[in-house]
Amino acid sequence: MDTIYLCIVIFLGVLAIFDLIVGVSNDAVNFLNSSVGSKSAKFKTILCIASVGVFVGAALSNGMMDIARHGIYQPQHFYFAEVMCILLAVMLTDVVLLDVFNTMGLPTSTTVSMVFELLGGTFALALVKTISTEGVDMADLINTDKALSVIMAIFVSVAIAFFFGMLVQWIARTIFTFNYKRHMKYVIGLYGGLAATSIIYFMLIKGLKDSSFMTAEVNDWIHAHTYIIVPALFVFFTVLMQILYWCRVNIFRVVVLMGTFALALAFAGNDLVNFIGVPLAGYSAYTDYIANGQAAGPDGFLMTSLLDSAKTPWYFLIGAGAVMVYALWTSKKAHHVIQTEVSLARQDEGEENFGSTPIARKLVRFSLNMANVINRRTPDNVKQWIESRFRKDEAILNDGAAFDMVRASVNLVLSGLLIALGTSLKLPLSTTYVTFMVAMGTSLADRAWGRDSAVYRITGVLSVIAGWFITAGAAFAICFFVTLILHYGGFVAVIVLTVVAIASLIHSQIVFKRKSQQKEQAVDTVKQMLRATDQKEVVALLRQHTREELSKVLDFTQDCFERTSTSFLHENLRGLRRSMGSIKFHKQLIRQMKRTGALAMSRLDNNFVLEKGLYYYQGNDFASELVYSLGRLCEPCLEHIDNNFKPLETIQKGEYADITQGITTFLKSCNQRMADNNYADFEQEVRRANELTNELSRLKREELQRIQGQSGSIKVSMVYLTMLQEAQNIVTYSINLMKVSRKFQSEAQEPGV
């Protein structure tokens, strides 16, 4: 039995490594967003600075918060076997849950996931103990105060971070304007001094407060002499920054890189418990059991020892720091999460990653009404002066940057200050919440959310915020059931759930790698297209992007049409529901494709737009009609099968199966031509489309004759006619799409000619 628990402890250590990797993938956005988004330095330089901060923070941290030992459950009432069950369930849930969010590219809170996993696992065993044991009260087993404080901190930090991010950025932009190099001669020293002082204060209060060398005496001395330390630092850094400015050093770059280091250090020093705290609690419990509890057995030895605080051996901290640095450099998912936040905060227009929602539309409408009221009551001279400070056409952006370094510095400095303030007030603020909402507030103040993009940006912000709450609910529920399975399933359940977790991670990596390769290629094309200045280059990239997107539409049309038809003929309800879900998703993609194309067309000269623009927009319309036709085909089929109505007659099945095969072959051929940009012998496809259309018309006439002869069910006949009509529409829209695509791709006339 002891060997089994030793294996569990070793497995917890292995899971800790995975958790460090997926945790860094999620939390790297907190300290890399501003420096990466502003292109304050080369990406490798930024990673080097962040890596040093992460490694130093991990090595100097005590690596252990008591929340993993006795913050949620009361260990004096739990036996060793029960504690190990909770801790293993927490780690299995945490690794998979964070990996899912990273795959979706959504930043979430590792603190919330760990707290609510512990709460869910503890609640499961607490229920078991209160039901099976007399005199045991739920309140004696669970400490809910910590979980409630985290929930309250979510609401508080989201609102405060967003509001102050918007306010401080508006003040900073009013002072420096978008052409900040022209207006920083007299104030850059003060700004740099204030920013550097804030960063150092943040490092002392938040980043190093639990470091191994930070004794209680040193902490007390810092707090007692804060009124001396802060002014002295401010004077020193103000003078230093002014001197550096005279030496032609970019002060904003210095502030951004200092802030990146500070946030990385604080992340590693304080959030390390989210990744290794639970495994180390298991290690501590095991060593205590081996030393003192073998006589009582795993089901009879209470874990009172976990009430004591523990110090983590230095080699665990060094190892954790090394794994975090490795993950920072190699994790593609970390870069994916960073792209989500940078995309939502970028200054210019571009491809939006999110659609629109009713809530976002209502918020935009309400904000516009409020802005109009304020605008009417503001004096004209004040409005003119404010407008002169917010001329975005004067923005100084580094090559490829999403926003400038003024905003990046505000993001980092304000995030550090708010986290330090929360720490001093003993609020469990999450670095994820604060940094994300500050970034959103500063982007709003910078007028990065224009009327054409605000609804999509707000939808993205709401999606991320909803993800935080989903994390809490999912962590609690999943860990609750995993704990029960482990408790009642024993060693067999441990093996099965371990295999499931590993298989889930491997499958996630494979799927993410395949999707990211496809998406990176498409995103690179769009980025190049939106940044290119040469008209011929824009046209070439637009044609390439159009071919890729329309080919995807045809590929989806072929797959969805075949799956819908086959599922209906075989009365496969799951297949029809799957088709309906994918159709809804592709409707969003079509809208996104249209937005991207409209931005690209706006960069072309009028001659090309007049020559080819109509074909481009017609192609988008036909692609949209294809997806909507699939929806009109799938919906009645789904309703028919879901209501268990009579299936098609044998003759109808035979007719439709034959025509389906012909349409599928036709769509496959069109897709291949589109992807290869090969329109040789295109008349062959036109003839095939005409033949299919004529055949479908014949089948509709014959079905109408059967209806007139009152043979068969009317319900079945109406569904069958709808299927034939939409199949005919799909053939028509496909061949029309090919025709306009051929005209758009031809180089009869180039721009500027």
Q: At what angle do helices 145-176 and 405-424 cross, to 10 degrees?
A: 150
Which tokens hold the place of 437? Answer: 């909402």
Q: Are residues 539 and 509 in the same domain?
A: no
Position 691 confidence tier, pLDDT thresholds 50, 70, 90: very high
Q: Are residues 69 and 158 in the same domain?
A: yes
Position 535 confidence tier, pLDDT thresholds 50, 70, 90: confident
Position 78 confidence tier, pLDDT thresholds 50, 70, 90: confident
What's the mean per-residue pLDDT of the chain? Answer: 80
The predicted model gives 580-595 an average pLDDT of 83
User: pLDDT of 242-269, one tens digit each?
Assistant: 999 888 888 888 988 888 888 887 777 6
pLDDT given at position 661 = 92
pLDDT given at position 629 = 93
Residue 142 within a domain: yes
Instruction: Report the alpha-carbon distance of residue 346 to residue 338 in Å, rounded.
Output: 12
Position 736 confidence tier, pLDDT thresholds 50, 70, 90: very high
DSSP string covering 291-355, please?
Answer: HHTTTT-TTT-B-GGGGS--PPPHHHHHHHHHHHHHHHHH-HHHHHHHHHHHHHH-SS----SS-
Q: Check whether 572 has a pLDDT greater than 80.
A: yes
Position 157 confidence tier, pLDDT thresholds 50, 70, 90: confident
Q: Check whether 724 has a pLDDT greater than 80.
A: yes
Are 709 and 659 a contacting pair, CB within 8 Å? no
Q: Are residues 95 and 232 in the same domain?
A: yes
Residue 522 within a domain: no
Residue 525 within a domain: no
Instruction: Report the alpha-carbon distance of residue 159 to residue 485 in Å, rounded.
Output: 39
| Maximum CA extent, the chain | 99
The answer to which of 21-30, 284-293, 494-503 has the lowest mean pLDDT is 21-30
Pairwise pLDDT comparison (548 vs 526), residue with the higher score? 548
Instruction: Report the alpha-carbon distance of residue 606 to residue 604 in Å, rounded.
Output: 7
Return the CATH number at 645.
1.20.58.220
The predicted model gives 385-402 an average pLDDT of 77
The answer to which of 171-185, 601-615, 686-700 has the lowest mean pLDDT is 601-615
Q: Are residues 556 and 498 in the same domain?
A: no
The answer to which of 174-178, 226-230, 256-260, 707-711 has the lowest mean pLDDT is 707-711
Q: Are residues 331 and 466 in the same domain?
A: yes
pLDDT given at position 118 = 87
Domain end: 485, 516, 547, which one?
A: 516
Split into its structural domains, the chain has a count of: 2
pLDDT given at position 631 = 93
Q: Are residues 463 and 545 in the same domain?
A: no
pLDDT given at position 753 = 32
Q: Are residues 427 and 537 in the same domain?
A: no
Residue 152 within a domain: yes
Position 354 confidence tier, pLDDT thresholds 50, 70, 90: low
pLDDT given at position 310 = 63
Share of the chain above pLDDT 70, in %: 84
Position 729 confidence tier, pLDDT thresholds 50, 70, 90: very high
Domain end: 491, 516, 541, which one?
A: 516
Q: Check whether 294 has a pLDDT greater than 60.
A: yes
Q: Are residues 21 and 167 in the same domain?
A: yes
The predicted model gives 669-689 an average pLDDT of 89
Which tokens hold the place of 636? Answer: 């009645």
Residue 684 within a domain: yes
User: pLDDT of 635-675, one tens digit each?
Assistant: 999 999 998 888 888 888 999 999 999 999 999 999 998 88
Residue 691 within a domain: yes
Q: Are residues 123 and 229 in the same domain?
A: yes
User: pLDDT of 446-480, one tens digit each?
Assistant: 877 766 666 777 777 777 777 777 888 888 899 99
In this structure, which amino acid lies at residue 687?
Answer: R
The predicted model gives 327-336 an average pLDDT of 69
Position 692 confidence tier, pLDDT thresholds 50, 70, 90: very high
Position 557 confidence tier, pLDDT thresholds 50, 70, 90: very high
Position 212 confidence tier, pLDDT thresholds 50, 70, 90: low
Burial per residue of 622-660, b for 16 or more beta-carbon CB atoms within 10 angstroms, e otherwise = bbbbbbbbbbbbbbbbbebbeeeeebbbeebeebbeebb
- Those residues with Cβ within 8 angstroms of residue 654's Cβ, 6 or more apart along the chain or in another chain: none
Q: Integer distance in angstroms from the first to the last C-alpha of the chain?
A: 82
Q: Are residues 504 and 542 in the same domain?
A: no
pLDDT given at position 64 = 46
Residue 53 within a domain: yes
pLDDT given at position 485 = 92
Burial of 142 (0-12, 13-18, 19+ CB in 10 A): buried
Q: Check whether 285 has a pLDDT greater than 90.
A: no
Containing domain of residue 688, as a range? 532-745
pLDDT given at position 66 = 64
Q: Are residues 414 and 456 in the same domain?
A: yes
The predicted model gives 355-381 an average pLDDT of 77
Q: Check whether 348 has a pLDDT greater than 60.
A: no
Residue whose tokens read 């006339």: 749
Instruction: Report the alpha-carbon distance of residue 498 to residue 89 in Å, rounded.
Output: 10
Q: Are residues 500 and 540 in the same domain?
A: no
Residue 719 within a domain: yes
Domain end: 456, 490, 516, which one?
A: 516
